[in-house]
Structure 1
Amino acid sequence: MSDESDSGATRIRPVRPGDAEAIWDIYAPFVRETPATFTLEPPSPAELREKIRTAREADEYPWYVFESDGSVAGYAYASAVRDRPAYRWSVETSIYANPDYHRGGVGRRLYDRLFDTLRRQGYVSAFAVLGLPNPESEAFHEAYGFDHLADFPAAGYKLGAWRDVGWYRLELRDPPADPDPPRPVSEVESESDEF
């Protein structure tokens, strides 16, 4: 679904492998210049294209981009917290926006779409893991409703200093007594026409 805003036509849609270059343009400065992510070198557009392709084929975790006038202004996705069966109902989320779009509602709209899909899939908890200091992302996650769980001191070394990492949690739904496995992304996306 598209809508009109002051900045022109905008929409949120599932990611495509062809978005890899635009995603790289957004992500690479965060990798090179900030402690927001503990990645030390940005993956190449080809590596991102493969990551997107693999995620779409697996059909377990959603990826979305925010488009403004046909350009990717931000993206958000979910991934596994850990590779153990008992973690199946939890996800880790990642969200990045072009700085020109910060504080313009891009992040909130991306998370709204991402969490709507995750809830309908049957996930219970979403975790955000933030490299610190990261006051803008900390404030964003807390305003969105995440609970700050803990900081792990000196968890990584980046940009010439030891960095803490903060863990945040958003409950997506009440934990069921006997949960069914999460449903595929494609199955729940076909049910929604809200976005």
Structure 2
Amino acid sequence: MNTCTPSKSLTGHGHRISLRAATERDADAFLSIYAPYVAKTAVTFEYEIPATEEFAARIRRVQEKYPWLVAEADGKILGYAYAAPFHERAAYEWAVELSVYVAPDKKRLGIGARLYEALELILKEQGILNLYACIACPEKEDEYLAADSVRFHEKLGFQMVGKFHRCGYKFHRWYHMVWMEKHIGLHGENPPGVKSFGEIGPVIGGILEGN
């Protein structure tokens, strides 16, 4: 499903953005956003910028079950966010890991929050209960990595649940990694199975329009 609907303006910045589901055709635009994070930051621990075909395959794999959303204005993609399995074991079915990337020149305009809010509503409809974020974290902020992502998740209701010390090496420096968590549902006995992204198609348009 690829629903593109008008949405609210980002006050004071003149951007009228809409949210929609991603397609594999978005891979090049996503890479133009993601590549600077790989090449110039430790936000991602990936060393090499993926090829377009590899990135398109990532979109395809995610959308077999989970949402991958796009924020755009005037036909230009400003950011994207998606959910992925937290772990392969069956008992983890109700948990997902989230990721979000916004174009470097469009940060701090509320785009990431809008994407996350829409993701959360969609994931609730699917039956997901736990959201997780795996975040690179510096011992001390430097030119490659700040604590912006931790602060972003805190504002959206995530809590710190774990820290791995000096587990990522990039730009000749060691970085920590933290896990943050948010519960979006009740943990009762015999929870219903999680629906796929495709199964909740009728409600997705309304969620994206409202966000």
Q: Tell me the TM-score range normalised by the shorter chain.
A: over 0.9
Q: Does 1:154 align with 2:161?
A: no
Aligned equivalents of 2:15 and 2:112: distance in 1?
17
Amino acid at match of 1:158: K
Cα deviation, 1:120-171, whole Å, max 9, x if unaligned, reads: 1001101000011231111100011100112110112111111100110011
Distance of aligned partners of 1:4 and 1:180 in 2 relative to their CA distance in 1, 3 Å threshold: closer
In the alignment, what sits opposite 2:154?
Answer: 142
Match of 1:170 in 2: 182
Structure 2 counterpart of 1:13, from 10, 20, 28: 20
1:119 corresponds to which residue?
124
Matches within 5 A, 1:1-195: 1-5=5-9, 6-56=13-63, 58=64, 60-133=65-138, 134-192=146-204, 193-195=206-208
User: Gaps spanning 5+ residues in structure 2: where?
Assistant: 139-145
Pairwise CA distance, 1:36:
1.1
| CA drift at 1:4 | 5.0
Q: Which runs of 5+ in 1 are unaligned?
A: none
SS of 2:207's equivalent in the other structure is coil
List structure 1 segments (4+ residues) > 3 angstroms apart after TM superposition: none
How far apart are residue 55 of structure 1 and its match?
Answer: 2.7
> The residue matched to 1:194 in structure 2 has which SS?
helix
| TM superposition score normalised by structure 1 | 0.94
Is the 1:128–1:169 Cα contact (8 Å) retained in structure 2?
yes
- Letter of the 2:173 counterpart: A
Cα RMSD (Å) of the superposition? 1.3
Q: What SS does structure 1 have at the residue aligned with 2:71? A: strand
Instruction: Please tell me whether the aligned partners of residues 31 and 38 of structure 1 are also in contact (alpha carbons under 8 angstroms).
Output: yes
Identity of aligned residues (%): 34
Shift of 1:188: 1.8
Aligned residues: 193
Q: Deviations over 1:72-97 (max 9, x none)?
A: 10000000111111111100000000
SS of the residue aligned with 2:195? Answer: coil
- For the 8 Å contact 1:91–1:125, the answer to whether it is kept is yes
The secondary structure found in structure 1 opposite 2:179 is strand
> Cα gap change, 1:175/1:37 in structure 2, threshold over 3 Å: closer, same or farther?
same
Query: What is the TM-score with the length of structure 2 in the denominator?
Result: 0.87
